[in-house]
A and B are shown apart, each in its own frame.
Chain A
Amino acid sequence: EPEVTQTPSHQVTQMGQEVILRCVPISNHLYFYWYRQILGQKVEFLVSFYNNEISEKSEIFDDQFSVERPDGSNFTLKIRSTKLEDSAMYFCASSPAPAFYEQYFGPGTRLTVT
């Protein structure tokens, strides 16, 4: 069964460093998402992406964040200058279309900022 994959599974970085989190969505899906979950809290939407542009972003997704689909398979989330409060689990998701279709979540990348 096709699945969303994410790398790395765990990333440790120092405050102020740039990180890139990678995702490979399910191959025939067209819509891609990033969510984050701070330990013990609920899952929060960051951004949705379709047709090589951002469809919607939350207030969390400020200028420090960017997303890109650099080739036909990868979907990346870049955090330019990490802060301690960026420590969280980051989930990538994909769906064949928005609305009426479930989003399939990847296993997540645990980001620890020290």
Chain B
Amino acid sequence: ELKVEQNPLFLSMQEGKNYTIYCNYSTTSDRLYWYRQDPGKSLESLFVLLSNGAVKQEGRLMASLDTKARLSTLHITAAVHDLSATYFCAVDASGSRLTFGEGTQLTVNP
């Protein structure tokens, strides 16, 4: 059974600081997705990572995938309050289902 683990689960950081969220998974896969969820809202797609070594950047967020280590990272640069949300990684190991991590609840304080 595929297990996807994120850490930390809760992250409180100050504006302007950098931090990294980690996503480990237990089964071989080269398809990993990052989603953002605001309270009471749906899942917004952030990044689609489809190969080993894939790196994607959008604004203050950068995601990478190391399929050999079964690890993805979501790096936050110079955080701003608007980035406060819950971030989920999700792994596709079967081609027809996403297995989500527990989510990282990020709070950026002024």
Q: Which residues of A contact B (CB under 8 A)?
A: 31, 33, 35, 41-45, 48, 50, 55-56, 58, 91, 98-100, 102-108
B103: nearest residue on chain A (CB-CB)?
Answer: A42
Contact at B101–A58, with CB atoms within 8 Å? Answer: no
A102 touches B99 (CB 8 A): no
A58 cross-chain contacts in B, Cβ below 8 A = 97
Q: How far is the CA of A55 from the CA of B96 in the complex (A)?
A: 7
Compute how far the CA of A107 lies from the CA of B100 in the bound complex, rounded to whole angstroms: 17
- What CA separation (Å) do A44 and B31 show in the bound complex? 17
Shortest C-beta distance, A75 to chain B (Å), equals: 15
- The listed residue (A98, A99, A106) touching B42 by CB distance below 8 A is A106
The chain B residue sitting closest to A103, CB to CB, is B98
> A42 contacts which of B31, B44, B88 (Cβ < 8 Å)?
B88
Q: Which residue of A41, A45, A102, A104 is within 8 Å of B97 (Cβ)?
A: A45
Is B102 among interface residues, defined by CB-CB distance under 8 A? yes
- With contacts defined as CB atoms under 8 Å apart, how many contacts are there between chain A and chain B in the complex? 54
The residues in B between 62 and 96 inclusive whose CB is less than 8 angstroms from any CB of A are: 88, 90, 92, 94-96
A102 touches B96 (CB 8 A): no
Q: Give complex CA distance A42, B91 in Å.
A: 13
Contact A102 B41, CB 8 Å, known A43-B88, A44-B100, A48-B97: no
Residue of B96, B99, B100 with highest tally of chain A CB at under 10 A: B96
Our pick among A44, A48, A104, A106 for the contact of B96 (Cβ within 8 Å) is A48
Cross-interface CB contact of B100 among A43, A55, A56, cutoff 8 Å: A43
Contact B100 A91 (CB under 8 A): no
Report whether A98 and B95 are in contact in the complex, using a CB–CB cutoff of 8 Å. Answer: yes
**B55 part of interface (Cβ distance < 8 Å):** no
